[in-house]
Structure 1
């Protein structure tokens, strides 16, 4: 029964997307994209709860912003937004791109980050380099602002602010609706592996660790065990 409902929901979503495609330039197509954004991307749940938090001076994190929130962020002085959700032409990206252009904000998109899996060391190095290059004030976001944005925030603090691993790990917490006990706990596990390496061998910059010592296969073992010290 659940599979049938899921299949029907997916069919409905495809039909809705077909109404606007990759075009939000007209009143009609923008309206349809907004419907998709609220219903299928669950934007209606983010109407009051933004998960907005300043992790360092001029550096913010949040969940997926709506066009109205992007306008507010522009008024806050935000110059750059980093989306960790990829650059595929779907409703949330199309609307975000349009809103950023309208308000003079530079939108930077990355290869879609993983919340429930371990990326390659090269992918994490690339993300760190992007974070280091962003013009402040800037905002980092994923969908909920809990997992991918949390790890990116931790990496930023470690690489750009010289924060301790203890401080960086706070970016992945229940305060941001991140749950270590679920599959997204793999992000905590990656930071724990880095912490264990430091404890065993002494300090090493996080970027260098991903280049030289990070073991993606070992990190992925979290999927099997779901627990770590």
Structure 2
């Protein structure tokens, strides 16, 4: 009941906020950002961390956060949540244009391993963007973690262990929840790497089966309830 009421209230707020064309609509957008998208917590901690000298990771940045990120020299912002009718996204688009940063929408999922085609597209996107860059999801824990892990392996040739460290509780990631399927993907590659010495790109092209991997993965009930119902992660 509460979930349905919250969704209905959010839909009404979006209709009244519209495209943020008036001062009142912009005020509604700020309210939506702070309380419907939980930015009030991100003002306390953005979960901003360097991945390498060329890449950062974070939670959903506000316009103020983006100004500070631009001051770090960041040229490209990779939005792992994807384009959507959400005040956070509309304000991010607006801020990136104003600050001269390129916004790239590349959605990833936190409870399903990416398909081979999605990994290949992510690889291509990383080769094409201007650096330094920042990638973000909503909380900076799960999608930002797998995105950072893929970046380190695909673009910097870093060891698997370094990539796996991007999925860690210090970033807010809980491996025993449903989002632990992302760890499971990298662990499965680690088994193949030790046995056959195959490179990550080759494994993704030839031996990676995300559907079978997802079916085999078992999430913990308590951790999943914490992530899904209490923390309300996407």
TM-score normalized by the length of structure 2: 0.90
Q: CA deviation at 1:222?
A: 4.2
Q: CA deviation at 1:128?
A: 2.1
- Does the CA-based 8 Å contact 1:147-1:178 persist in structure 2? yes
Aligned to 1:11: 8
SS of residue matched to 2:212: helix
Aligned to 1:216: 210
Aligned to 2:146: 151
Question: How many Å separate the matches in 1 of 2:65 and 2:25?
Answer: 20
Q: CA deviation at 1:207?
A: 2.5
Question: How many Å separate the matches in 2 of 1:189 and 1:132?
Answer: 26
Q: CA deviation at 1:202?
A: 1.0
SS of residue matched to 2:178: coil
Question: How many Å separate the matches in 1 of 2:216 and 2:77?
Answer: 31
TM-score normalized by the length of structure 1: 0.92
Aligned to 1:59: 55
Question: How many Å separate the matches in 1 of 2:186 and 2:127?
Answer: 19
Aligned to 2:176: 181
- Does the CA-based 8 Å contact 1:74-1:105 persist in structure 2? yes
Question: How many Å separate the matches in 2 of 1:39 and 1:125?
Answer: 36
- Does the CA-based 8 Å contact 1:83-1:140 persist in structure 2? yes
SS of residue matched to 1:139: strand
Q: CA deviation at 1:46?
A: 0.4
Aligned to 1:36: 32
- Does the CA-based 8 Å contact 1:24-1:95 persist in structure 2? no
Structure 2, unaligned runs of 5 or more: 221-234
Aligned to 2:192: 197
Q: CA deviation at 1:119?
A: 2.8
Aligned to 1:47: 43
Question: How many Å separate the matches in 1 of 2:72 and 2:147?
Answer: 22
Aligned to 1:207: 201
RMSD: 1.4
Q: CA deviation at 1:91?
A: 1.2
